[in-house]
A and B are shown apart, each in its own frame.
Chain A
Amino acid sequence: MMKARLFVFVACFGACQTAAPLVESDHARSAPNARSCKPEAPIAVEVATREVGANELEITARVVPTATVPSIDLALALPAHAGASTATEARFGATTAGEPRVLTARVQLADRRSSSITAIARVVVDGIDMSRTATVAVGMPKPAPRTRTYALPDGELAREVRP
């Protein structure tokens, strides 16, 4: 009974709070990994958000190639309930390794539902169109699933999701 009351309280708090930030995590980065074994686009992508008004965000996507590339296409993938008042894609010409390129956009969200914004960078390497993305969560954080953690008989740990 006590558990049920506590759960109701937490759920209500999560659903009713209005002071939640528009941005769940304001920054995300993806870059070639020194130990990575999968082939990857030679470019680092970083996306950051900044709240600039009611339900309005400034999105900054910054890319830095790790090898000289003939061009970079940079675009923002927005959720369906978002609109932009500035360009959300840009094409940059030949860029040397280490040279940053930046795209800044203003985005309006219809509401604060949980969603994400992804920066997508595309470069051509030896005739192959490769891409890398970085995704930042926006809106209300998704409620964490109910889980139980426990050890199996052989010591292996499990985190169980319940319906």
Chain B
Amino acid sequence: MTSKLWCALACVTLIACEDSSAPEPGDGSDSMDPVDACGEVTAEGACEGNDVVRCVEGAVEREPCATTCTTDGGVRCIGPEVCSGVGPLGRCDGDSLWRCDGEPSLVDCAAAGQICGYRDDVVGYACIDPTAGAHRVSGTITWEDRAVSPGALADPVAKPARGVMVAVVDDATDALLVTVSTADDGTYVAHYAATAMVRIATYSRSRSEARPARVRDTAGYLYAVGSTAFAAGSMPSVDIAVSAASTAGGAWNSLDNAVTAMDWLREQGVAPISPVYMYWQQTTSSGSYYQGGSNELHLDGDDGFDDVVALHELGHYIQDEYSDSDNPGGAHDGSPADPRLAWGEGGATWFAIAVRGVPYYIDWSTGGGWYVELEQRAHKASLTGGISQNISEWMVAEVMWDLIDDGSGDTDPVVGSTAPHVWDVLVGYLISSSRVDRGRAGLDLVEFLDGWFMHHGMSSCAPMRTLVLDRYTFPYDFAGPAGACP
């Protein structure tokens, strides 16, 4: 039946082609036959450059793609939205390869006689030789998050483990036979050669150069969660779920925060990303802190799911690696302190709330912990205290937040600036040789405000004066190296 129908259509085409002479003007004939108008373009369509072209009701329709046209899984446009589950090392979907390190792309590896697999920690997933490994195993790694909000820690919710290390392990010797990384949807694919019993293990470490983070226990061991052992080649799919209640739950949350922080850095154009070595163990009570030099970030035992605390400490890592701080350190509680400490701590808190987009510092613990709201409150300075006075770290975070918080609920006069505008100052003026030390000796809020005008000119003088002088009563002189505000 199908072949007969095809034949009938072919005949129609043939007849139309025989009558292909151009119509005489005014002869009243119909326009060109619609099938002929499509030529070789089919209803299924094809990619022509970055356009989707297909035959619709006898006419060729062309759809320019904003990013990429793909034929894999049907001819269609794909955009950045498809990248949420991919990550910097790509993703295999069967033998289709997703890459999002440039424009989104989807490649059918099988069309070139290849398979989709993991090449190495630099390239990640790619179309590879089909002889790579006798066996294929794939699966999904998930961990359970417990979201923090003021005074509460939510029930566990499974999330994909983004960019974590997965290995096929020889079960007898614990030798790693092959190592891969999960994509951002938690999926992995590994090809391996083995004849004995093996297992799958996932580790609290990212393999990608774009996310050089790992989480160790206080004895220096990576957390790992293994599957049951199975005969090589007998299990095509192995999933691993890390529960929030396990001794490893907080480690996966900490690693995910590092991934978030490093992705944020890459969005700002930072490359290469410096490594960070995180330490967390459920039972410890030694405080949360960052050690520059060794890039070690230590999290208290009850901070395993404290995203804001982890991101605050990652803020110190960013100050250490990409910006600057003269923070003298020591215990602090948010009350007015050495302005260098206030800058270091407030800047780190700004990073945490900027990444989350939520103006709350939250430190959860049994009984609900505590939190600080940083949008509506104003931890004011003294108008008569001079620019060298002790100030609250909360005030620093609040001022910086007000610079980027356009949108609903924004009550400050500064509009139009975003996190990259703050970032420009952090990695520009603050680390430049032209930085002038004003206020208290060392880096503090005064230099940041100076840098704001150095980078973004004097057009924001009026709203900045309202923000800094009126709202926070900080007696900044608006007369830094960029010049004096009118």
Contacts and interface: CB of A to CB of B under 8 A. Distances in A.
Interface string A128-163: 111111110000000001001110110011111111
Given A130-B333, A133-B365, A38 B289 contact: yes
B367 A33 contact: no
Please indicate which of the listed interface residues A30, A39, A118 has the most CB atoms of chain B within 10 Å of its own CB.
A39
Contact of B331 (A40, A126, A129): A40
B290 interface: yes
A81 B402 CA distance: 47
B40 to A, nearest CB: 53
B221 A149 contact: yes
A1 B341 CA distance: 60
B367 A75 contact: yes
B456 interface: no
Interface in B310-338: 312-313, 316, 327, 329-335
Given A37-B345, A39-B361, A67 B289 contact: no
A125 B335 contact: yes
Given A32-B331, A150-B174, A160 B224 contact: yes
Contacts of A148: 174, 226
A29 B287 CA distance: 11
A159 B221 contact: yes
B195 interface: no
B370 A160 contact: no
Contacts of B228: 162-163
Interface string A32-75: 11111111111000000000000000000000001100000001
Given A66-B331, A134-B285, A156-B205, A37 B379 contact: no
Given A75-B367, A125-B335, A156 B222 contact: yes
A77 B345 contact: no
Contacts of B291: 35
Contacts of A34: 329-331
A39 B333 contact: yes
Contact of B287 (A35, A129, A159): A35
Q: How large is the interface on A (under 10, 10 to 19, 20 to 34, 35 or more residues)?
A: 35 or more
Given A28-B285, A158-B222, A41 B312 contact: no
A71 to B, nearest CB: 15
B256 interface: no
A30 B370 contact: no
A29 B290 CA distance: 21
Contacts of B334: 39, 125-126, 128, 130
B220 interface: yes
A29 B285 contact: yes
B335 A38 contact: no
A131 B302 CA distance: 13
A120 interface: yes
A39 B407 CA distance: 28
A30 B285 contact: yes
A6 to B, nearest CB: 19
Contact of A157 (B176, B222, B309): B222
B278 interface: no
Contact of A126 (B246, B335, B345): B335
Given A28-B285, A42-B331, A157-B220, A135 B366 contact: yes
Interface in B175-225: 176, 179, 201, 203, 205, 214, 217, 219-225
B479 to A, nearest CB: 30
A34 B174 CA distance: 41
A88 to B, nearest CB: 12
Given A126-B335, A131-B365, A37 B224 contact: no
A126 B366 contact: no
Nearest to B291: A35
A60 to B, nearest CB: 17
A39 B397 CA distance: 13
Nearest to B222: A158
Contacts of A130: 333-334, 370
Contacts of A156: 205, 214, 222
B286 A37 contact: no
Nearest to A34: B330
Contact of B367 (A29, A37, A77, A128): A77
Nearest to B332: A39
Contacts of A37: 288-290, 312-313, 316, 327, 329, 345, 348
B106 interface: no
Nearest to A144: B247
A66 B228 CA distance: 50
Nearest to B289: A37
Nearest to B247: A145
Interface in B49-98: none
A131 B332 contact: no
A106 to B, nearest CB: 21
Given A134-B285, A149-B221, A152-B176, A118 B333 contact: no
B331 A161 contact: no
A157 B224 CA distance: 10
10 contacts: A36-B287, A37-B289, A37-B312, A37-B327, A37-B329, A67-B333, A157-B222, A159-B219, A160-B226, A162-B228
Given A35-B289, A36-B331, 5 more contacts: A39-B332, A128-B334, A157-B221, A157-B222, A159-B219
Interface of A: 28-30, 32-42, 66-67, 75, 77, 118, 120, 122, 125-126, 128-135, 145, 148-150, 152-153, 156-163
Those 7 A-B pairs whose CB atoms lie nearest each other, nearest first: A33-B287, A32-B331, A160-B224, A36-B287, A159-B221, A150-B174, A120-B367
